[in-house]
Amino acid sequence: MGLFGEHASMRKIFEVIRRVGPSDAPVLITGASGTGKELVARALHTLSHRATRNFVPVHCGAIPEDLLESELFGHVRGAFTGAIAARTGRFQLANHGTVFLDEIGEMSPRFQVKLLRVLEDGTFDPVGSATTRQTDVRVIAATHRDLHAGTREGTFRDDLLYRLDVVRIHLPALRERREDIPLIARHFLRQAAARSGQQPVELTPAAAAALMAYDWPGNVRELRNVLERAVLLSEQPGVLQPGDLPAPIGSGTAPAEVRPARAARASGPWDFGPEGTDFYRELESFERRMIGRALQLAGGSKREAARLLQVNRTTLLEKLKRRGWQVGKDSEVLDSVGVLGGAPLAMGAPLVPQLAHAEAVLAVPHRPWPASEGWLDLRRPVARAFGVPAATATQRAAQLP
């Protein structure tokens, strides 16, 4: 699994990763659950001079507070009841490597003080030991919480935040980059088919439109699980249709609990909130979803979609061009292929890009990973899905740092 995206926000993230990866600067990765924060952390580690050393992930929210100190710093034999043997902590295991502190916002203020010491001078004391240990690690942290709000509420130390927040990378929710959904979906479909021993699965235009119309509260993780289920239960082998997707995705509607804000806005006055709302963003979002739904119902035919929307076909084509969705000149070819097929443009975000020849945007040098480490293969193509010749992709990747 790798990082995929053609959206402008993902392009910026790839550029930041390329620039920051080789350094030792602490990085704070923010974003909702399931957006790929650990993948970004692994990419940063892979691009650094520590890449041949350990990458040690720690989920701070999954470890009870009374065990977190032993987990991170280790303990000596007899340090507490049940400590029948000494234990090496994660910071010692990651010496000269990288520690990834996932969901650091769940860490208690009492323990944050001890973590701050490690970040400041690289020293820590194993539980029950009178000997101070030294470690040389790069710390990358991630959270779905607003840590600045936590500092105001007293749940997160501001000095620790300033120490962690040297470089910040924010991952957008999947619904904020819908154009990337078909690209990511094709990648997951290939993976799911390979794992289940089935033939490659084609993503139909109608199924792609259904995926793009859904809000994905679970983000990329939810998309992966939905597609794996769909591959196993699809009625027609090798083809993914909207009917193969679970409700409410395949039906094109979502329950109120999935999209409470959108449901409230659709049924009554807008909830502007204390800071108001962005009129043009809301208008753009509504129009995008309406066009996507019309294309889904029309099976990808722009002529039929324009009829459903009660607009001229040229008006619809202009709106698709403005969004960077692929269009063509020959109306008959477009009607037969639909907006969801054909060769994507060299610029812009195609609605359903083809992944015949993927171009690496985040090039990662080859590293001999130990098989026991379970490393993610970040040498795979990371972004773009434009149909470029293999020689061109190799040449461009060779120019990257």
Q: Which residues contact 121 (CB under 8 A, 6 or more apart)?
A: none
Query: CA-to-CA distance for 186 and 353, rounded, in angstroms?
Result: 9
The dihedral built from the CA positions of residue 149, 152, 157 and 162, taken in this order, carries a sign that is positive
Q: Using an 8 Å Cβ cutoff, are 70 and 127 in contact? A: yes
Q: Could you tell me which residue, 189 or 198, shows the higher pLDDT?
A: 189
Q: Using an 8 Å Cβ cutoff, are 284 and 324 in contact? A: no
Amino acid at 217: P
Q: For residue 356, what are its two tokens?
A: 């015949």
Query: CA-to-CA distance for 271 and 177, rounded, in angstroms?
Result: 23
| pLDDT of the residue at 197 | 83
Range 342-362 average pLDDT: 35
Q: What is the pLDDT of residues 124-157, one digit of tens each?
A: 888 888 888 899 999 999 999 999 999 999 999 9
Query: CA-to-CA distance for 384 and 378, rounded, in angstroms?
Result: 14
Q: Are β-strands 55-59 and 98-102 bridged in parallel, bridged antiparallel, or unpaired?
A: parallel
For Cα atoms 36, 38, 44, give the angle at the middle one, nearest 5 degrees. Answer: 110
Instruction: Look up the pTM and report it.
Output: 0.63
Q: For residue 357, what are its two tokens?
A: 């020849």
Query: CA-to-CA distance for 17 and 7, rounded, in angstroms?
Result: 16
The dihedral built from the CA positions of residue 240, 241, 244 and 247, taken in this order, carries a sign that is positive
Residue 91: closest CA among 142, 138, 38: 138
Q: What is the pLDDT of residues 82-135, one digit of tens each?
A: 778 888 889 999 999 999 999 999 998 888 998 999 999 999 888 888 888 899
Query: CA-to-CA distance for 104 and 107, rounded, in angstroms?
Result: 5
How far apart are the two ends of the chain, measured CA to CA in Å?
A: 22
Mapping DSSP to helix (H, G, I), strand (E, B) and coil, where does residue 321 land?
helix
Residue with tokens 């993948």: 39
| pLDDT of the residue at 102 | 95
| pLDDT of the residue at 168 | 96
In the predicted structure, residue 364 carries a pLDDT above the cut 80: no
Domains observed in the chain: 8-172 (3.40.50.300), 177-337 (1.10.8.60)
In the predicted structure, residue 270 carries a pLDDT above the cut 60: no
Query: CA-to-CA distance for 24 and 44, rounded, in angstroms?
Result: 10
Q: How many helices (H) and strands (E) does the chain have?
A: 16, 11
Amino acid at 9: S
Residue with tokens 């088919």: 193
| pLDDT of the residue at 194 | 87
- pLDDT band per the 50, 70, 90 thresholds, residue 366: very low
| pLDDT of the residue at 319 | 81
Q: What is the pLDDT of residues 50-93, one digit of tens each?
A: 999 999 999 998 888 878 888 899 888 877 777 788 888 899 99
